[in-house]
């Protein structure tokens, strides 16, 4: 297991004293689930499924070939395509393989699957789309969408939406895979995934000429073109639907940039934002901010005006060749938005170190980061605190926070939660003991924590290896420590001295405490 690196053990957990209030979530954002790329058909990459700022590698599995697209998650399983020509279902808690499905001819599966209504919809490089039984992986139906499909599948209502690379957009029924409608973009290609919202399907055509790509908007029910807007730069990314606007990232050192279009008319509301040019990842959108990553930077811009709010600097790696040292900037993949935080994976076009980061969505301040010991191949998928990432060597891993379960109920932390350091779990004193029914006080002059509940009392001083529990001295596993303005304790000796029990679940990374 990889915990917080020594370099970032404490400094990487720089948090505000109180958590920032999360902005109200609009109706077009899907929360708490990640059943398809972008967290939902709108492709906003916003979720309620994250918690705990410090993440730890909970399990890892290695598939036979590279994983290029984020996993879809449903029913305690994750579903992912692989370059070996298979779709895999893995247990979300353990990473154990549940089933696998192989399309004909071993066609690579670089498209991100989507799952709903008990059906996993996956597309392959042979141009076929497959409807698989979510429980068993058995094929229910298949449909030929085009010459090849590399973009991720979208699901809205009872239909799946697929964009083939040769320019064909299809809507098929989830139940039988029957074609509802199709539309062919003449003389162009589609690399990004379709986004769905407001009764419309938004598809970005790559752009084969010098003029750039075009955003096409189709009626969700009929496939009829409602509007199309040409833009400068190549449109190889996925658009994000955000209510009254669609956000699109164009690629190109001189012609690329970030745009916002009116979702009903296609009129350009603002853009291009040139600071976010050369974009190789799709934008992420919340109610009050648009996030766009490129080589070296992540930009946060105002969704109403496109004005820059802040920017975050990605890691830099140095390589020596002879007497010359060259520096390389990391590329920033599409981030996941969850209230006051962003989760990001960064990667280099040279060998690592690739990383996972948690930063403040309000300021861009670093909150936590850790290195990935292999090359990241996919963006992030999230659900119930789990962060899933795939690698170019077939790696697929789950990173999760440590959860404290007090008397059968999960404890909510204001900012910093349990932290693993040097193989030991540190828990915020106030949150833990208040959850057990204690009244907790803090004397800043003496750096002393006092907890009282009925006839029980606990007195602990930061730096001291001894606590007074019900008037008796108890040797702690370690002295209290101050982390990010929070008093942290190793709870085992305290809980046992109070007559309680404490257990560690190495599968789910849960600490179970019972104090009656």
% of the chain at pLDDT higher than 90: 60
> Is the backbone peptide bond immediately before 397 cis, with ω within 30 degrees of 0?
no
Structure tokens at 162: 């697929």
Cα separation, 302 vs 291, whole angstroms: 9
- The model's confidence at residue 278, banded by pLDDT at 50, 70 and 90, is low
Residue among 259, 261, 219 at smallest CA distance from 243: 261
**Which pLDDT value is given to residue 208?**
75
Sheet strand arrangement including 168-173: 154-156, 159-163, 168-173, 179-184
pLDDT per residue over 113-145, tens digit each? 999 999 999 999 999 999 999 999 999 999 999
- Could you tell me the two tokens for 356? 């996972």
Task: Report the relative pairing of strands 403-406 and 510-514 from DSSP bridges.
Answer: parallel
The Cα 364–Cα 312 span in angstroms is 6
Close Cβ partners of 222 (under 8 Å, ≥ 6 residues apart):
181
Nearest to 31 by CA among 381, 292, 333, 383: 383
Could you tell me which of 227, 120, 241 has the C-alpha nearest to residue 192? Answer: 241
Runs of H (alpha helix) within 408-512: 429-435, 492-497
What residues contact 447, with CB distance under 8 A and at least 6 apart? 461, 462, 463, 482
Write the pLDDT tens digit of every residue in 176-218: 999 999 999 988 999 999 999 999 999 999 987 667 899 999 9
How does 177-188 read in b/e, with b if 16+ C-beta sit within 10 Å?
Answer: beebbbbebeeb
Tokens standing for 345?
């994976």
Contact by Cβ (8 Å): 174, 159: yes
d(CA 402, CA 385) in angstroms, rounded, equals: 9
Mean pLDDT calculated for residue range 139-153: 94
Confidence of residue 227 (pLDDT cuts 50, 70, 90): very high
pLDDT tens sequence across 52-69? 778 889 999 999 999 999
* Distance (Å) of CA 247 to CA 174, 243, 307: 27, 10, 14
Residues ≥6 apart with Cβ < 8 Å to 193:
37, 38, 43, 112, 151, 152, 153, 154, 163, 238
SS3 of residue 195 by DSSP: strand
Residue 269: count other Cβ atoms within 10 Å of its Cβ. Answer: 18
Whether residue 390 contacts residue 67, with contact meaning beta carbons closer than 8 Å, is answered with: yes
Strands in 386-390's sheet, in edge-to-edge order, are 56-62, 395-400, 386-390, 381-383
Average pLDDT over residues 237-255: 89
Neighbours of 424 (CB within 10 A): 12
Q: Residue 223: CB partners within 8 Å, gap ≥ 6?
A: 169, 171, 180, 181, 182, 183, 201
**Whether the Cβ atoms of residue 374 and residue 393 lie closer than 8 Å to each other:** yes
Query: Would the pLDDT of 79 be above 60?
Result: yes
- Kindly tell me if the per-residue pLDDT of 25 is higher than 60: no
Residues 6 or more apart whose CB falls under 8 angstroms from that of 487 comprise 428, 429, 430, 442, 449, 462, 480, 481
pLDDT at 204: 94
Cut 0.75: pTM above it: yes
Average pLDDT score over residue span 23-28: 53
pLDDT at 166 over 80: yes
213 φ, ψ to 5°?
A: -90, 180
pLDDT of residue 8: 43
Q: Hey, what domains does the chain have and what are their CATH numbers?
A: 27-288+379-399 (2.130.10.10), 405-514 (3.30.457.10)
Rounded to whole angstroms, how far apart are CA atoms 78 and 70? 10
Give the chain's count of helices (H) and strands (E).
Answer: 2, 48
Decide if pLDDT at 510 tops 80: yes
pLDDT at 515: 85
Contact 340/289 with Cβ under 8 angstroms? no
> 387 with 401: CB under 8 angstroms?
no
Q: How confident is the model at residue 98 (pLDDT cuts 50, 70, 90)?
A: very high
The distance in angstroms from the start CA to the end CA of the chain is 32
Non-local (6+) Cβ contacts of 321 within 8 A are none
Give yes or no for a cis peptide into 353 (omega within 30° of 0).
Answer: yes
Where b means 16+ CB within 10 Å and e means fewer, 217-240 reads bbebeebeebbebebbbbbbbbbb
The confidence band for 49, taking pLDDT boundaries of 50, 70 and 90, is confident
Specify the pLDDT at position 373: 85
Cβ neighbors of 305 (< 8 A, separation 6 or more) are: 270
| pLDDT tens digits, 382-418 | 988 889 999 999 999 999 988 899 999 888 876 678 8
Q: Whole-number mean pLDDT of the chain?
A: 88
């Amino acid at each position: 297991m990889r915990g917080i690196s020594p370099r970032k053990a404490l400094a990487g957990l720089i948090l505000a004293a109180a958590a920032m209030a999360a902005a109200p979530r609009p109706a077009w954002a899907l929360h708490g689930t990640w059943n398809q790329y972008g967290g939902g058909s709108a492709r906003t990459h916003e979720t309620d499924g994250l918690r705990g700022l410090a993440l730890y590698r909970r399990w890892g599995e290695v598939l036979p070939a590279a994983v290029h697209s984020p996993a879809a998650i449903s029913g305690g399983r994750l579903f992912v395509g692989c370059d070996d020509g298979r779709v895999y279902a893995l247990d979300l808690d353990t990473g154990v393989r549940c089933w696998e499905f192989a399309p004909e001819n071993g066609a690579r599966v670089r498209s991100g699957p989507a799952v709903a209504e008990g059906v996993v919809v996956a597309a392959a490089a042979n141009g076929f789309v497959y409807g698989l039984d979510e429980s068993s992986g058995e094929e229910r139906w298949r449909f030929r969408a085009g010459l090849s499909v590399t973009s991720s599948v979208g699901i809205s209502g009872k239909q799946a939406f697929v964009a083939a690379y040769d320019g064909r957009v299809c809507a098929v029924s989830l139940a039988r895979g029957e074609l509802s409608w199709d539309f062919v973009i003449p003389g162009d290609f589609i690399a990004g995934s379709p986004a769905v919202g407001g009764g419309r399907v938004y598809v970005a055509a790559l752009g084969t000429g010098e003029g750039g790509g075009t955003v096409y908007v189709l009626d969700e029910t009929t496939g009829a073109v409602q509007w199309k807007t040409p833009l400068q730069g190549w449109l190889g990314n996925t658009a994000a639907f955000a209510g009254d606007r669609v956000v699109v990232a164009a690629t190109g050192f001189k012609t690329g940039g970030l745009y916002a279009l009116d979702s009903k008319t296609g009129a350009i509301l603002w853009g291009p934002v040139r600071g976010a040019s050369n974009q190789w990842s799709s934008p992420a959108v919340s109610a009050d901010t648009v996030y766009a990553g490129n080589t070296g930077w992540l930009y946060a811009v105002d969704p109403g005006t496109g004005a820059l709010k802040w920017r975050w600097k990605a890691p830099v790696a140095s390589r020596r060749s002879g007497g010359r040292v060259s520096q390389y900037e990391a590329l920033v993949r599409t981030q996941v938005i969850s209230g006051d935080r962003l989760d990001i994976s960064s990667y280099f076009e040279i060998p690592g170190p690739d990383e996972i980061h948690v930063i403040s969505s309000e300021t861009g301040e670093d909150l936590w980061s850790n290195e990935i010991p292999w090359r990241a191949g996919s963006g992030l998928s999230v659900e119930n605190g789990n962060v899933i990432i795939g690698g170019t060597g077939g790696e697929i891993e789950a990173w999760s926070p440590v959860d404290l379960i007090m008397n059968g109920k999960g404890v909510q932390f204001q900012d910093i939660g349990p932290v693993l350091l040097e193989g030991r779990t540190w828990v915020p004193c106030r949150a833990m003991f208040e959850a057990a029914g204690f009244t907790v006080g803090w004397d800043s002059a003496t750096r002393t924590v006092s907890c009282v509940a009925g006839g029980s009392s606990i007195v602990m001083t930061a730096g001291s290896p001894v606590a007074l529990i019900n008037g008796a001295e108890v040797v702690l596993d370690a002295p209290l420590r101050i982390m990010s303005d929070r008093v942290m304790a190793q709870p085992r000796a305290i809980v046992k001295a109070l007559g309680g029990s404490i257990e560690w679940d190495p599968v789910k990374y849960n600490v179970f405490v019972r104090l009656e």
